[in-house]
Amino acid sequence: MLDKYPSEIRPFYTMPCPNDDRFSNSYDIFIRGQEICSGAQRCHDPELVMQILDKKGIEAGDGLKAYIDSFRHGISPHAGAGIGLERVVFLYLGLDNVRKASMFPRDPNRCSP
């Protein structure tokens, strides 16, 4: 498991670590050297999101303004994670290509079944 990724390489909506804002409250879980899960605490404070956007040099255009304004109505602290099930199956079965673990594999040359 990798914990506390550097904030500069995480998306703007990832919560900075309260003890050291150079790092973020985020993690990745690995099996056999392959990432199978990513997760993070999301930033729920609209003022902090604005500070992070400024620090990253990102303009808060119309789409981001609506996103940030939604937090002004109150939102609880929250987090999430995503597990790559195809990667887990690929590693568990010892397959030579992750596409073999997906019913409908996608890549730039194949966007539909």
Distance between start and end Cα atoms, the chain: 34
Q: How far is residue 19's CA from residue 45's CA, in Å, rounded to a whole number?
A: 17
Q: What is the residue extent of each domain of the chain?
A: 2-101
Higher-scoring residue by pLDDT: 110, 86: 86
d(CA 33, CA 90): 13
| Topology annotation, domain 2-101 | BirA Bifunctional Protein; domain 2 (3.30.930)
Q: Strands, DSSP E only, in 1-113?
A: 2-3, 26-31, 34-42, 78-83
Q: What is the pLDDT of residue 47?
A: 93
Q: What is the pLDDT of residues 21-78, one digit of tens each?
A: 999 999 999 988 989 999 999 999 999 999 999 999 998 887 888 889 988 988 899 9
